[in-house]
Amino acid sequence: MTAVSRRALRNFDWLIFGLVLFMSISGIMTIYSATRVTGTGEMPDFYLKQISWLVIAIITLLVCTSFDYSWLSRLSLPLYITGIISLVIVLVMGRSGMGAKRWLQLGPLNFQPSEFFRLVFIIAFAFHLSRLQGRLHLGNIIKAAILFLIIPVALIIKEPDLGSALILIFVFFITLLIRGVRKKAVIILIVIGVISVPFLERIVWSQLKDYQKNRLVAFVKPQIDPSGIGYQIEQSKITIGSGRFSGKGYLKGTQGPFRFLPEKHTDFIFSIFAEEWGFLGCFLLLAAYLVLLLRGIDTALKAKDMFGKLLSFSIVIMFFTYFVINVGMALGMMPVVGVPLPFMSYGGTALISNFAAAGILINVRMRRFKLFY
């Protein structure tokens, strides 16, 4: 083993790797439980597919730690252009499902470009901001919005994928604040935002599909149609509440196998986990996510350059937004917008892209000092 290899192994962040592996294995266990068949019937192979994707995701993470992350700055422009092209292609040639056109099919494989685009967006946007000097003024923000926000958000809403669009918007503005914005620019943006809310609301509402509008109505008034548009939210809260303090036990939950809860292995996997493991299990899971986020923040603070700092902070913001929206949906505190729980929900594209993001976090932490030169 070379000296560089030994240093890389010694500085590899086993905590981040262990946390995401723990979440992913917990997710596979929950997917199996949620989709198991009681009585006669063929068992779906969702958990087997997720195991295969986990193997690919781990390889992706290791690849993302094997080179200096500064190389990503050189690839940021071609990656970003490729990402935009993929969002356009999915609108033209994408596969439709559940009222949306979000997937591209390559032979037997389906992937969701918007999941990968979030990471591409973070890389390109972090590099762009790292090249600017001093605090950002209004011109910098407008230019950044034109280059990095308006086009991809419009394309993603068109799919429609409101959840991914919200995450991009949130990451964009929080990353700007972390980078540093002049007070005058912040005040102007707040005033513009307040004035434009009614107009933006009408524009966004006109672009939403009927099922998305129903989800928003169900969030505001879930009791308006508990057996119809409010069914998912009500069943999710019932599922979580039935777990009580210590849970019913693994493979002893009823909401998943008896098909009471829709999207139980994707959007509402947290509800199934809560039913089986109860408050104690949820506390442990939430603690794992909290440690991951804090580790990411610590990595950002110790990064050797501005690009690494913004890259790490943006990934943490993405994970945090994912988590808050998904758990908020399950608890009925946020509208259902189709955002998966990081590392746990079923889906290969999301799992691989999240492991790639975790790999970049580990990469930045490994190279916080000039250990490889």
Q: What is the pLDDT of residues 203-214, one digit of tens each?
A: 666 666 666 666
- DSSP H/E element including 7: helix 3-11
Residue 372 located in a structural domain: no
> What's residue 166's pLDDT?
87
Q: How many angstroms separate the CA atoms of 31 and 14, rounded?
A: 25
Residue 80 located in a structural domain: yes
Mean pLDDT of 351-356: 96
Residue 373 located in a structural domain: no
- DSSP H/E element including 96: strand 95-97
Residue 371 located in a structural domain: no
Domain that holds residue 98: 3-366
CB 311 within 8 A of CB 364: yes
Residue 171 located in a structural domain: yes
Which pLDDT band holds residue 36 (cuts at 50, 70, 90)?
Answer: confident
| Number of separate domains in the chain | 1
Residue 44 located in a structural domain: yes
Residue 211 located in a structural domain: yes
Q: How many angstroms separate the CA atoms of 244 and 154, rounded?
A: 42
Burial of residue 52 (number of CB atoms within 10 Å: 0-12, 13-18, 19+):
exposed
> What's residue 64's pLDDT?
94
> What's residue 95's pLDDT?
73
Query: What is the pTM (predicted TM-score) of this model?
Result: 0.89
